[in-house]
């Protein structure tokens, strides 16, 4: 079917002139020149701008009457990457999802006007703002164009042809096809095999796999491919390869199963609550439907307590106020203006400030009732877009990156040592061939032995225990963190948190409770203050309430309970008050401290004569009740304290309620108290009343039987004053102080105003004498200015979600490791950008949890310190293990190298199986032992390590080199001079086997003692500190000692050793125990001296390493080129196709000139913006 579907034509003026009926029924679009052009496209491509624009041809006001100009091609232009939202095949509606998104992206009155206001949107969506959608709708009722929809009256355009419904269409088929359903695509749970594959794709693991394959292949050949002499021990060389494969499987399984378990735990945490229902109007009747069944064009009812499920435009209602703090960060209630009223004011040229007809998904209704027209659902709604945008891949952590670099470096050094050893032994082998009388098979076996020794060097050099240590440390930490109210969704976020250098915290709901609370009050001479940090002599609220007379309590309860529009309800299964935040705070005070049991009961016990709604001019509200003794009536008033004070001439005694005149000094004192509360960023509420003998009073103005509120606001009695604030969470100031002591900079990032932000930041200890900036000012800074101000920035107020994201991204660019805390939907972009995102498990939105890596189950900012401590413990564990592992590797490689080169038969002092025990089992046990040390408070006494900090510190290198020297000296002396020292016969095979056993035994015991040395990374001597708290460490050491004893006594055949006597055991253990006092000597050696010596001695090593690295990279480049050539030849056809497609890069940047409203301000001068897809918006 041919039809018009040019939704947003290249029109620079909305033409309200009546077109003659003599026009054809073909729908036409207005061009900039004023002519009409036919449009018969079946694809809505409304965002194409005209190739030229002649502003001189715009009709003038004298030609058009009252015409409001706007530029739809600018206002409704797609943002880069959203073009597909504007293109809908065969669209019977006037708008695409992209057009309607422009209403909320961000709130745009210009887009609202360009779409014809509420009436235009309803027409374009073929809906009725009174009757809603038709229950019987299947296909669209008809077809409507953009021009028809935005017409000011319905008779100005020719009728569009009737839309032909497709036979057999399901209900709302076209509407669902064009605008979608109110559901988000289910995020598939990552299958276990994919998690295993992700865990396996680690450079260290891949390196181990290569080593395992080579070792296994050579081992199997040695076992099955060679003929052994009768009586020779069975070949177990293949065990080494199998053992490495087992290590790989353990690492992969532990890592993936942990991720899988955490993902399932998060799914359980975010298990869908009971399906919500909402009242909808269809075919003029109201009934309840599931929120998933809401469609664009639906008319929905909302009332206090409702969580808005979709985006829309307010139709009408009474005093509707929404809490958009979770969506925008704005903590104040936002009053909504009906769409038609907004359009009328825009048409009249009134100031559009404070006009807000937009209903945002994810916001909550606080007060009032009303209906709104749904404009966006599912992935197109504000809530849906944020949910979809946070589904991104996780970056590698700083530790991951460092470990990968270390693995590559070790592989290069190990490979170099192996190649060097292989060629040294090979040349010796070839040089002795002429005098070699062995058979060919024996010579081949000797050559194979050389190759096995070389491969063993590589296997020993690669730290296969390292990934296991990291995984075990993280798994242990995350399990313990869950017990301490931290659900770690992403395993590696734990270690990243350990080195966090900055925390950017949201204010509302994170540092504060997101629950307005009465924190201070003054009633006559009696006053109270918050329970934390009150001044001496000032009572807490509990103490104050206990001293109040019953009469006074009843008067206060009357005022806050009767003179209120809030009501009792339930949220997430818990009792709560629903209504404005101020009223709920006062009711909570009455319930918690003044003995109010049930709000409904208090109201039932009083006879209410008249309710006086909130007067925005007087900033107060009132209620009139009949006194219980029948003696008269009482007017109860509460509101802005500074205004009510001017209406008062008397004050009530707090104990007896006896009244007396309000003197000038008393008035000044009260004004001073109000000012002091206001400076503390408290919302001050005055409570006043007045008794009347009759109602209505004689001197009151009466209209329609009701007393006019303003006529009785005179000579009132002052009862008291309270200060209301969203209070700081208990424990937050202490947590902030500890974080700062640990070297972490805490910044507050909030959507609130600067005054409130400063007050809360000061109370938390975040703001000292630093810089406070507002979002609009911050985002205008250049990168250079931003970098200069960031070190001093402590509070970012009035910030949008994009401002938060920019701040986090800029800090990361400066090398900071950034943690972000937040609970609202508006925090999601920053949570996702951060290195570690913390969300709140109780009051956090689903979006925030989905974007975070760690969920704080108790919503306590102080729990971040727990994560910080365990994160540092993980980093310490990895460094402890590295210190131990590299010592073993250096010693084992050099020992194998030196002994193999020095031995006439080219055999290493440590056999392959002995190296297997040292290299794998010892490493695995050490990983378990060193990765399970719980943190102490002392870990917060040091500064975090920056991303650029080396993984192995100078202090660690000192211990590694020091212990390697000792271990090499002891083992080499035993190996080469042991026979002379102990008086053994070099030709006695038994004694030589005993000596080799002693070398092996001493070497292993040195590792056991050195494990204790590595429990400390600093220069302190107490290596046993906290060892009794780590049962794993004690158990594993018992296992290692027991296993070593068993190997010496019963492992002779496999390990090529023999049992030794008590004296020999004593020599081994005592020689190994020297490593403990030696470690003390190493720690006493100054770090600065070691650094200088290492810099001098290590310079040649660095030169050789870089030379070898260049050679390796060149060899790798050759293989890479070969691979690319083969890949290129297979994709020539794809390249040809690309060449036939015009390059997007060659498109010139588009210059857009726009004018209209932005954030409630009218720009008289045009704004020039250059849109370049490559360089972004400038």
Which residues participate in catalysis according to the annotation?
506
Q: Are 245 and 220 in contact (CB under 8 A)?
A: no
Q: Cα separation of 735 and 732, whole Å?
A: 5
Q: Cα separation of 1101 and 1083, whole Å?
A: 24
With DSSP H G I counted as helix, E B as strand and the rest as coil, what are the percentages for the chain, rounded to 5? Answer: 50, 15, 35
| Best CA proximity match to 746, nearest among 729, 730, 725, 732 | 732
Q: Where are the beta strands (DSSP E) in 559-709?
A: 567-571, 574-578, 607-615, 620-626, 633-640, 648-652, 659-661, 683-692, 702-703, 706-707
Q: Are 775 and 330 in contact (CB under 8 A)?
A: no
Q: Are 182 and 295 in contact (CB under 8 A)?
A: yes
The distance of Cα 794 from the centroid of its chain, to the nearest Å, equals: 20
Identify the bridge partners of residue 821 per DSSP, sorted by sequence position: 505, 838
Q: Are 87 and 75 in contact (CB under 8 A)?
A: no
Q: What is the DSSP string of 256-291?
A: HHHHHHHHHHHHHHT---SPPEEEEEETTEEEEEEG
Q: Return the structure tokens found at 585.
A: 């705070």
Q: Are 761 and 767 in contact (CB under 8 A)?
A: yes
Q: Tell me, what DSSP letter sits at residue 234?
A: P
Q: What is the DSSP string of 854-904?
A: EEETT--TTHHHHHHHHHHHHHHHHHHHHHHHHHHHHHHHHHHHHHHHHST
Does an H or E element contain 734, and which? helix 732-741
Burial (CB < 10 A; 0-12, 13-18, 19+), residue 980, is: exposed
Residues contacting 369, CB < 8 A, separation 6+? 301, 302, 303, 304, 317, 318, 320
Residues contacting 808, CB < 8 A, separation 6+? 504, 818, 820, 830, 833, 834
Pairing of the two strands 648-652 and 716-725: parallel
Give, rounded to a whole angstrom, the gap between the first and last alpha carbons of the chain.
43
Q: Cα separation of 636 and 606, whole Å?
A: 12
**942-971 burial string, b = 16+ CB within 10 Å, else e?**
eebbebeeebebebbbbbbbbbbebbbebb
Residues contacting 977, CB < 8 A, separation 6+? none
Residue 316, phi then psi, degrees to nearest 5:
-160, 170
| Best CA proximity match to 821, nearest among 755, 729, 754, 741 | 729
Identify the bridge partners of residue 107 per DSSP, sorted by sequence position: 104
Q: Tell me, what DSSP letter sits at residue 753?
A: -
Q: What is the DSSP string of 65-77?
A: SS--B--HHHHTP
Residues contacting 303, CB < 8 A, separation 6+? 365, 369
Q: Tell me, what DSSP letter sits at residue 48?
A: P
- Residue owning tokens 């225990």: 465
3-state secondary structure at position 309: coil
3-state secondary structure at position 797: strand
Pairing of the two strands 793-797 and 771-774: parallel
Q: Tell me, what DSSP letter sits at residue 142?
A: B
Q: Return the structure tokens found at 399.
A: 């530790």
């Amino acid at each position: 079917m041919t039809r018009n579907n040019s939704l947003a034509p290249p029109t620079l003026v909305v033409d309200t002139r009546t077109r003659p009926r003599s026009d054809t029924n073909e729908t036409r679009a207005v061009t900039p020149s004023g002519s009409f052009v036919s449009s018969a496209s079946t694809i809505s491509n409304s965002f194409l701008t005209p190739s030229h624009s002649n502003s001189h041809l715009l009709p003038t006001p004298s030609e058009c009457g009252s015409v409001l100009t706007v530029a739809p091609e600018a206002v409704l232009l797609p943002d880069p990457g959203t073009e597909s939202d504007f293109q809908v095949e065969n669209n019977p509606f006037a708008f695409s999802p992209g057009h309607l998104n422009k209403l909320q992206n961000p709130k745009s009155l210009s887009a609202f006007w360009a779409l014809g206001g509420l009436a235009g949107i309803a027409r374009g969506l073929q809906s009725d703002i009174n009757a809603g959608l038709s229950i019987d709708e299947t296909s669209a009722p008809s077809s409507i164009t953009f021009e028809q929809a935005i017409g000011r009256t319905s008779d100005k355009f020719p009728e569009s042809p009737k839309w032909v419904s497709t036979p057999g269409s399901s209900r709302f088929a076209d509407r669902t096809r064009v605008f979608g359903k109110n559901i988000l695509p289910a995020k598939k749970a990552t299958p276990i095999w994919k998690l295993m594959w992700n865990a396996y794709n680690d450079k260290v693991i891949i390196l181990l796999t290569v080593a395992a394959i080579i070792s296994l292949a050579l081992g199997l050949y040695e076992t099955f491919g060679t003929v052994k002499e009768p009586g020779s021990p069975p070949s177990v060389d293949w065990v080494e390869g199998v053992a490495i494969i087992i290590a790989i499987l353990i690492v992969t399984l532990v890592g993936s199963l942990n991720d899988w378990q955490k993902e399932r735990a998060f799914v359980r945490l975010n298990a869908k609550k009971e399906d919500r229902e909402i009242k909808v109007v269809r075919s003029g009747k109201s009934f309840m439907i599931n929120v998933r069944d809401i469609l664009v064009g639906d008319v929905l009812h909302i009332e206090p307590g409702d969580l808005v499920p979709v985006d829309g435009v307010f139709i009408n209602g009474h005093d509707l106020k929404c809490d958009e703090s979770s969506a925008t960060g704005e903590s104040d209630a936002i009053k909504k203006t009906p769409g038609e009223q907004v359009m009328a004011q825009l048409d009249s040229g009134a100031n559009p400030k404070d006009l807000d007809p937009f209903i945002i998904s994810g916001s909550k209704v606080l007060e009032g009732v009303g209906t709104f027209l749904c404009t966006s659902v599912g992935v197109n709604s504000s809530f849906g877009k944020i949910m979809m945008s946070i589904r991104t891949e996780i970056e590698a952590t700083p530790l991951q990156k460092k470990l990968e670099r270390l693995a590559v470096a070790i592989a290069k050094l190990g490979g170099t040592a192996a190649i060097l050893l292989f060629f040294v032994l090979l040349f010796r082998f070839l040089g002795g061939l002429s005098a070699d009388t062995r058979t060919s098979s024996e010579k081949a076996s000797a050559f194979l032995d050389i190759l096995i020794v070389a491969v063993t060097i590589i296997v020993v050099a690669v730290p296969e225990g390292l990934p296991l240590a990291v995984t075990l440390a993280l798994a242990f930490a995350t399990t313990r963190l869950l017990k301490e109210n931290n659900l770690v969704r992403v395993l590696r976020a734990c270690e990243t948190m350990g080195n966090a250098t900055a925390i950017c915290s949201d204010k509302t709901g994170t540092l504060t409770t997101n629950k307005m609370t009465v924190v201070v009050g003054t009633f006559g001479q009696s006053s109270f203050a918050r329970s934390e940090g009150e001044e001496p002599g000032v009572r807490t609220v509990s103490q104050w309430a206990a001293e109040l007379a019953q009469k006074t309590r009843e008067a206060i309860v009357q005022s806050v309970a009767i003179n209120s529009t809030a009501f009792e309800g339930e949220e997430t299964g818990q009792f709560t008050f629903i209504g404005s935040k101020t009223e709920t705070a006062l009711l909570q005070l009455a319930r918690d401290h003044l003995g109010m049991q049930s709000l409904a009961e208090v109201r039932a016990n009083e006879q209410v004569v008249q309710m006086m709604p909130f007067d925005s001019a007087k900033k107060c509200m009132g209620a009139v009740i009949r006194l219980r003794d029948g003696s008269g009536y009482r007017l109860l008033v509460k509101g802005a304290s500074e205004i009510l004070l001017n209406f008062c001439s008397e004050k009530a005694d707090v104990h007896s309620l006896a009244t007396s005149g309000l003197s000038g000094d008393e008035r000044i004192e009260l004004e001073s108290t109000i000012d002091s509360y206001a400076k503390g960023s408290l919302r001050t509420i005055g409570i006043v009343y007045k008794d009347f003998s009759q109602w209505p009073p004689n001197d009151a103005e009466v209209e329609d039987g009701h007393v006019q509120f303003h006529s009785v606001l005179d000579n009132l009695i002052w009862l008291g004053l309270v200060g209301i604030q969203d209070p700081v969470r208990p424990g937050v100031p202490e947590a902030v102080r500890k974080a700062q002591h640990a070297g972490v900079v805490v910044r507050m990032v909030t959507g609130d105003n600067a005054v409130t932000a400063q007050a809360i930041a000061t109370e938390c200890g975040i703001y000292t004498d630093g810089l406070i900036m507002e979002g609009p000012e911050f985002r205008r800074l250049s990168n250079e200015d931003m970098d200069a101000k960031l070190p001093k920035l402590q509070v970012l107020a009035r910030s949008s979600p994009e401002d938060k994201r920019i701040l986090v991204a800029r800090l990361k660019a400066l090398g900071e490791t950034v943690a972000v805390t937040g609970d609202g939907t508006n925090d999601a972009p920053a949570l996702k950008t951060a290195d570690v995102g913390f969300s709140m498990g109780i009051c956090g939105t689903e979006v925030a949890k989905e974007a975070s890596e760690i969920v704080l189950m108790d919503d306590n900012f102080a729990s971040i310190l727990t994560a910080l401590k365990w994160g540092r413990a993980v980093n310490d564990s990895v460094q402890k293990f590295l210190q131990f592992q590299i010592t073993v590797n250096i010693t084992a490689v050099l020992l194998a190298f030196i002994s193999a080169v020095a031995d006439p038969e080219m055999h290493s002092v440590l056999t392959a199986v002995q190296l297997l025990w040292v290299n794998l089992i010892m490493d695995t046990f050490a990983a378990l032992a060193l990765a399970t040390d719980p943190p102490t408070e002392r870990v917060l006494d040091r500064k975090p390590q920056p991303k650029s900090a080396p993984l192995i510190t100078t202090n660690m290198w000192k211990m590694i080199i020091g212990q390697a020297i000792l271990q090499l000296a002891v083992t080499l002396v035993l190996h080469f001079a042991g026979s002379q020292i102990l008086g053994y016969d070099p030709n006695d095979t038994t004694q030589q086997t005993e000596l080799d056993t002693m070398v092996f035994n001493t070497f292993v015991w040195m590792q056991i003692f050195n494990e204790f040395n590595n429990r400390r990374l600093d220069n302190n001597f107490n290596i046993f500190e906290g060892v009794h708290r780590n049962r794993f460490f004690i158990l594993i050491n018992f296992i290692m000692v027991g296993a070593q004893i068993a190997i010496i006594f019963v492992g002779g055949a496999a390990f090529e050793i023999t049992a030794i006597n008590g004296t020999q055991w004593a020599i081994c253990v005592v020689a190994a125990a020297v490593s403990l006092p030696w470690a003390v000597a190493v720690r006493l050696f100054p770090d600065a001296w070691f650094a200088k010596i290492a810099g001098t001695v290590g310079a040649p090593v660095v030169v050789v390493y870089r030379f070898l690295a260049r050679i390796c990279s060149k060899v790798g480049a050759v293989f890479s080129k070969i691979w690319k050539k083969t890949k290129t030849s297979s994709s020539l056809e794809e390249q040809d196709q690309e060449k036939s497609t015009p390059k997007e890069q060659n498109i010139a940047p588009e210059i857009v000139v726009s004018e209209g409203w932005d954030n409630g301000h009218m720009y008289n001068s045009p704004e020039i913006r250059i849109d370049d897809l490559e360089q972004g918006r400038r």
